[in-house]
Amino acid sequence: MQLKKIKYLFFLSFLTLMSFTLIKKEVITVFIVGDSTAANKQAKAYPETGWGMEFAPFFNKEVKIDNRALNGRSTKSFINEKRWEAVLKELKAGDYVLIEFGHNDEKIDKPEIGTSLAEYKSNLIKYIQETQAKKANPILLTPIARRSFKNGVFGDTHKGYPDVVRKLADSLHIPLIDMQRKTEKLIVGLGDEPSKKLFLYVDSGHVNYPTGKKDDTHLNPEGAKKVASLVVEGIKETKSPLAKYLIAN
């Protein structure tokens, strides 16, 4: 009788151990909030590709990428359309939020979208503080550079917006990935004509662009993958704990 009891207790212990082993580890979610340069694209826009579409393959299965970036959005419109509120509802402790706006905040001729530098800063603070309130981790990104050459000389189109992000990251001690500088270095390194291979340059006759397309803002699949790799490079450089979930190349 005593032997049966011992066997029974051993069996229960074994089941308990197995149950702990089989409990699935909670996945960390990395949210991307931003504009068209990061956004997921519909098939009808191909080969236009947001860098967020090429981001997930860099991570192991313990990380889920939730790309909420959307064409045409600024720090202001993303909030006003309650898209940020929707992220906050799902955001949990230990998650990450990559915050990359700027291309549309610059459009001050469109009051529903554009922001002054002061409003841009205020909105970014809101994203940061509300992320932290959820015990999640904000990471700031400056906007990626546009391909902008005049007579072979590269020019910055973002005015003072990236500097706002840099100063904010420094003053609030928030990890910063300086995508403007990273992508400018990439574009200038390639040169005027060769850098077109990263952007949405399509010859006429394409099913989605019958008359062709020349777009120096939006990326193609090659450009999106390269820019996503620069974001990953930035994650490593900031020594973010997120880096431990990267797949070794």
In the predicted model, is pLDDT for residue 12 greater than 50? no
Q: Which residues have CB under 8 Å from 171's CB, separation 6+?
A: none
- pLDDT, position 249: 61
Question: Which CA distances in Å does 224 have to 29, 47, 49, 116, 248?
Answer: 21, 10, 6, 28, 20
d(C-alpha 83, C-alpha 91), whole Å = 13
What confidence tier does 25 reach under pLDDT thresholds 50, 70, 90?
low
Of 24-38, 76-90, 156-170, 207-221, which gets the smallest average pLDDT? Answer: 24-38
- H or E element in which residue 34 lies: strand 28-34
Instruction: Map 173-210 to HEC letters.
Output: CCCEECHHHHHHHHHHHHCCCHHHHHEEEECCCCCCCC
Record the tokens describing residue 107, joined without a space.
């459009």
What confidence tier does 23 reach under pLDDT thresholds 50, 70, 90?
very low
pLDDT in tens, 138-180: 999 999 999 999 998 999 999 999 999 999 999 999 999 999 9
- pLDDT, position 234: 98
Which of 5, 26, 49, 44 lies closest to 225 in space, CA to CA?
49
Q: Which comes out higher in pLDDT, residue 5 or 157?
A: 157
At residue 189, what is the residue type? Answer: G
In the predicted model, is pLDDT for residue 4 greater than 60? no
Tell me what the mean pLDDT of segment 53-65 comes to: 98
Which of 243, 224, 249 lies closest to 30 in space, CA to CA?
243
The separation between CA 208 and the C-alpha centre of its own chain, rounded to angstroms, equals 26
- pLDDT, position 9: 40
Domains in the chain (CATH in brackets) are 26-245 (3.40.50.1110)
